[in-house]
């Protein structure tokens, strides 16, 4: 098919909204992960935020609550390097009485509020 200038027209099937392609082509920047309740909604209008990437996390129950013994993520920083330690942890969503079917969030703990012990 030709356009009005006589050039070939190419169609590409995209599996994501055009707004994302437009934003990425304009000025793509990876957005910082939320660190408090106040800035969680800032991500609604952003493009470069990872939300569905799987992480590997291991925890153990201790007297004070839970202890993260291992945390790995595939998320990359602006230099293209994998984030280390808990740097890739934005938040923990907690369902205190999870029934294995429906997740009903009872608590949100942000990465900056997670205590680190040696």
Is residue 5 a part of any domain in this protein? no
CA distance 29 to 87: 18
Proportion of the chain above pLDDT 70, given as a percent: 58
Is residue 67 a part of any domain in this protein? yes
Average pLDDT over residues 5-18: 64
Per-residue pLDDT band for 93 (boundaries 50, 70, 90) equals confident
Is residue 4 a part of any domain in this protein? no
Domain hosting residue 72, numbered range: 18-113
pLDDT of residue 87: 83
Considering its fold, how many domains does the chain have in total? Answer: 1
Is residue 45 a part of any domain in this protein? yes
Is residue 6 a part of any domain in this protein? no
Question: What are the residue ranges of helices labelled H in 8-112?
Answer: 18-27
Strands (DSSP E) found in 5-101: 55-62, 65-73, 91-94
Of residues 93 and 118, more confidence is placed in 93
Proportion of the chain above pLDDT 90, given as a percent: 0
Is residue 75 a part of any domain in this protein? yes
CA distance 64 to 44: 34
Say which DSSP state 8 is in: B
Is residue 101 a part of any domain in this protein? yes
The pTM of the full predicted model, rounded to 2 decimals, is 0.49
CA distance 6 to 1: 9
Per-residue pLDDT band for 118 (boundaries 50, 70, 90) equals very low
Is residue 13 a part of any domain in this protein? no
pLDDT of residue 53: 64
CA distance 59 to 114: 13
Tokens for 65, please give them.
Answer: 């609550």
Phi then psi dihedrals of residue 24, to 5 deg: -65, -40
b/e 48-67 (16+ beta carbons within 10 angstroms → b): eebeeeeeeeeeeeeeeeee
pLDDT tens digits along 29-71: 555 666 666 666 565 445 455 555 677 888 888 888 888 888 8
């Amino acid at each position: 098919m030709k356009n009005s200038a006589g050039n070939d027209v190419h169609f590409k099937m995209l599996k994501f909204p055009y707004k994302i392609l437009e934003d990425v082509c304009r000025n793509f920047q990876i957005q910082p992960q939320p660190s408090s309740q106040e800035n969680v909604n800032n991500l609604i209008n952003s493009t470069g935020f990872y939300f569905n990437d799987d992480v590997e996390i291991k925890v153990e129950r201790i007297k004070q609550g839970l202890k993260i013994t291992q945390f790995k993520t595939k998320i990359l920083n602006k230099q293209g390097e994998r984030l280390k330690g808990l740097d890739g942890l934005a938040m923990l969503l907690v369902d205190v009485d999870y029934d294995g079917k429906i997740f009903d969030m009872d608590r949100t703990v942000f990465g900056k509020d997670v205590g680190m012990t040696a």
